[in-house]
Structure 1
Amino acid sequence: MKKRVILIVLDSVGIGELPDADRYGDRGSHTLANTARAVGGLHLPHLAKLGLGNIDAIDGVAPVERPDGAFGKMAERAPGKDTTTGHWELAGVVLDKPFPVYPDGFPPEVMAAFEKAIGRNTLGNVAASGTEIIERLGEAHMATGAPIVYTSADSVFQIAAHEEVIPLEELYRYCQIARQILQGDHAVGRVIARPFVGVPTAFRRTTNRHDYSLKPPGRLVFDVIGEAGQEVAAVGKIYDIYAGQGFSRHVSTRSNMEGVDCTLAYMQEVEQGLIMTNLVDFDMHYGHRNDPEGYARALQDFDSRLPEILAALAPEDLLILTADHGCDPTTASTDHSREYVPVLLTGRKTPAGVNVGVRSTFADVGETVLAWLGLPPLGVGQVIEEVRHAGL
């Protein structure tokens, strides 16, 4: 019997501060509830039917008497609140220490090695918002040809360049050089190409972003699935986050809606295994830009497509919706927030109205994926037993 799991990560859609949120400056963060409050309530009827409003109070998303599946929330066991840490934990690698961060910019030894390797000076080397720094330094970049280097509260080395000044392939080469340099004590989670276009006062980032992640330091759920002869298909930035480890096919996307389209296409092609999708617009376009109205629209746009995904599920499919961290667009910070993430599980065989509680690690998702597919566990998290029994 061929089974599949469709795992969709709603990037940054957190559901309330973790107990240690104050250590990260995130006390009071609640991406979903605060966004809902800021816009006068969210209209998410299809997510509500799956039990989203049963997890926590969200204006406009009422709890339902019997959700169409299982619901709960998960705490991140690893320290940190970045994309790589959260995604790796979902797939079975739980970090015991956070990636290095550089609130005061990268040290001279890193920048000297990078500038020597690319043969150019750089601009910036500060922690900044991506849109703000290209407005501030974009004109100087165009005049000098020097790429803009910046970071954030996350463990990232970001390189911004105008596409007409530094062509994309050259920018990507710079990122590969930076990735090679940033190892050991300076092994940041991701190096990110941040191309932009336009003219001073009217710059805009393009969809040609590319991430260069560290290779995960252990076996992933994907490795177990692939070794069993099943497929692992990645949609969006999933392939980059895991440095390509364990995937049999992948496709990049430019928007949430394209991500949904590609997920539906893979559901017509992949017969057995895992389809994993990241929908990044919530985080990239709205969370980091403190735009609750845009965040709300993006949530409602995804909710409007959810019936298509549900209709495409085969009898032996399991759909899991979750997130990797928070990014509350209503707080003063433009960075990720240390939050619980929702987990919604549904399919024709999954139990209805089951509260799976508060999970102690995101790794429970990966273990549940393996159990559903009839594969051995990694032993990192706990299988969501109510779902495992339904799939037997």
Structure 2
Amino acid sequence: MKRVFLIVLDSFGIGEMPDADSFGDAGSNTIKACSTSSRFYIPNMKKLGLLNIDGVDVSPCNADWCKEDVSLNGAYGRMTEVSKGKDTTTGHWEIAGHISNQPLPTFPNGFPKELLDKFEEATGRKVLCNKPYSGTDVIRDYGEEHMKTGALIVYTSADSVFQIAAHESIVPIEELYRYCEIARDLCTGQYGVGRVIARPFVGEPGNFTRTPRRHDYSLVPPGVTMLDQLLEAGKDVIAVGKIHDIFAGKGIGSMVRTSGNAEGIERTIEYTKQDFEGVCFVNLVDFDMLYGHRNDVEGYANALSYFDEHLPAIMEGLREDDILMITADHGCDPSTPSTDHSREYTPLLIYGSKIKGGTNFGTRESFADIAATILDYFEIPSKVKGTSILSEIM
């Protein structure tokens, strides 16, 4: 019985890609930024080969664990994003084998009046803001007016997103979800953003906080993915975290949402104890949502350390035919002036009893090599992009 645990450390980039400058991301390096913190402590990922990946630079790290020579027990390499973007949807789709040749639309000047007029008519509520904004700043600046008027806070970012923030005492959560479904139906064609996101919050003016009841409404992947092929072959596809939302349920067999990294890790450990044959696909969102976008180097480094601390519990739950893969979907350097995603290489660490430890498979041409490798492991003829590296690592 074969199982693959595919864990995405959301936004954990390992250095700028050659085209980073065209995305405004020259010099971005998420792992290097985190290595400047005294909280940066990832000895278990180091043993998997993380610090041996081509181009990885953690030169500020002078801790003993950083300098210590260790015997590597994982295969490791660097992944290149081919898709035209640096957002969550595009990155995850490419990991699953779908290349996005056209970037998803972004709205740096806000959404056009035509779209918002239709949205206001359909919801019966006016709109506030309509600008690119930080999620915490937007509720600080518009939350009180929203509570007085009932108007919805609509905002975007450098990513392809239509976000709706509302106080749970003003707009009940199910009503907010319904408004997001309306927006999803309207955001098609030239307005076809990657995700519509519900951003509920609570609290009083001057002390608003977002709740964990965020919900993403993604576009349906326009082509076949690894997940579709696994399901068609009768394999299990288990989604943990926001994976179900990112793929709009397409190719997902079962799912569980999580409130953050801690619960995502806990659920993953639980799944190592369950019988299934297929893939457990996990997204750990806090790296991106809580630390990358908020330029919190210390928080990001601490979150990496927390994951690394709990990594042995995941590894210990693996069986003889299991494979663990750890990767990312883009970067989000918390040390740059920008609070947006960054165009970076991502790591791929692979571990299991049948994996050749110490194997450096170099720089891969696409995230989609992950999908091709997983399909190859399950002996399913691939219909997706990407080249399998299975023969190199087994």
User: Shorter-chain-normalised TM-score: which range?
Assistant: over 0.9
2:297 is aligned, of 284, 292, 297, to 292
1:43 is aligned, of 41, 44, 57, to 41
2:309 is aligned, of 288, 304, 307, to 304
Unmatched 5+ residue regions in structure 2? none
Match of 2:2 in 1: 3
Deviation digits for residues 85-128 of structure 1 (CA, Å, limit 9, x no counterpart): 00000001100010000000000111001000001111010011
Amino acid corresponding to residue 138 of structure 1 in structure 2: G
Distance 1:53-1:202 versus aligned 2 partners, 3 A rule: same
Structure 1 CA distance for aligned equivalents of residues 68 and 232 of structure 2: 41
Amino acid corresponding to residue 133 of structure 1 in structure 2: V
Mapping for residues 239-258 of structure 1, pairs under 5 Å: 239-258=244-263
Give the deviation of 1:315 after TM superposition. Answer: 0.3
Match of 2:135 in 1: 130
Mapping for residues 6-45 of structure 1, pairs under 5 Å: 6-37=5-36, 39-40=37-38, 42-45=40-43
Distance 1:325-1:63 versus aligned 2 partners, 3 A rule: farther
1:231 is aligned, of 229, 236, 249, to 236
Distance 1:270-1:175 versus aligned 2 partners, 3 A rule: farther
Give the deviation of 1:66 after TM superposition. Answer: 3.7
Deviation digits for residues 246-272 of structure 1 (CA, Å, limit 9, x no counterpart): 111100000111001111222222421
Say whether 1:72 aligns with 2:71. no
Structure 2 CA distance for aligned equivalents of residues 139 and 379 of structure 1: 48
> SS at the partner of 1:370?
helix
1:355 is aligned, of 334, 357, 360, to 360
> SS at the partner of 1:84?
helix
Structure 1 CA distance for aligned equivalents of residues 391 and 135 of structure 2: 43
Distance 1:41-1:16 versus aligned 2 partners, 3 A rule: farther
Amino acid corresponding to residue 10 of structure 2 in structure 1: D
Structure 2 CA distance for aligned equivalents of residues 54 and 180 of structure 1: 45
CA contact (8 A) 1:65 1:353 kept: no
Mapping for residues 207-226 of structure 1, pairs under 5 Å: 207-226=212-231
Structure 2 CA distance for aligned equivalents of residues 238 and 387 of structure 1: 28
Distance 1:11-1:63 versus aligned 2 partners, 3 A rule: farther
CA contact (8 A) 2:93 2:99 kept: yes
Deviates more, 1:63-72 or 1:9-18: 63-72
Amino acid corresponding to residue 265 of structure 2 in structure 1: V
CA contact (8 A) 1:51 1:63 kept: no
Match of 1:259 in 2: 264
Q: Report the RMSD for the aligned CA atoms in angstroms.
A: 1.2
Paired residues, number: 387
Give the deviation of 1:376 after TM superposition. Answer: 1.2
Structure 2 CA distance for aligned equivalents of residues 286 and 311 of structure 1: 28
> SS at the partner of 2:111?
coil
Structure 2 CA distance for aligned equivalents of residues 99 and 86 of structure 1: 12
CA contact (8 A) 1:225 1:273 kept: yes
Match of 2:125 in 1: 120
1:336 is aligned, of 314, 336, 341, to 341
Distance 1:33-1:299 versus aligned 2 partners, 3 A rule: same
Structure 1 CA distance for aligned equivalents of residues 247 and 322 of structure 2: 24
Structure 1 CA distance for aligned equivalents of residues 39 and 173 of structure 2: 41
Deviation digits for residues 204-263 of structure 1 (CA, Å, limit 9, x no counterpart): 001000000000001110111111111000000000000001111100000111001111
TM-score, scaled relative to structure 1: 0.97
CA contact (8 A) 1:48 1:62 kept: no
CA contact (8 A) 2:111 2:130 kept: yes
Structure 1 CA distance for aligned equivalents of residues 69 and 248 of structure 2: 40
> SS at the partner of 1:339?
coil
CA contact (8 A) 1:142 1:162 kept: yes
2:320 is aligned, of 298, 315, 338, to 315
Give the deviation of 1:65 after TM superposition. Answer: 5.2
Structure 2 CA distance for aligned equivalents of residues 335 and 270 of structure 1: 39
Match of 1:159 in 2: 164
Match of 1:53 in 2: 51
Amino acid corresponding to residue 19 of structure 1 in structure 2: P
Give the deviation of 1:372 after TM superposition. Answer: 1.2
Match of 1:99 in 2: 104
Distance 1:270-1:221 versus aligned 2 partners, 3 A rule: farther
Structure 2 CA distance for aligned equivalents of residues 151 and 340 of structure 1: 25
Match of 2:282 in 1: 277
Deviation digits for residues 320-361 of structure 1 (CA, Å, limit 9, x no counterpart): 000000000000000000000000001000001000100110
CA contact (8 A) 2:98 2:384 kept: no
> SS at the partner of 2:264?
helix
> SS at the partner of 1:233?
strand
Amino acid corresponding to residue 113 of structure 1 in structure 2: K
Give the deviation of 1:33 after TM superposition. Answer: 0.7
Structure 1 CA distance for aligned equivalents of residues 139 and 152 of structure 2: 10
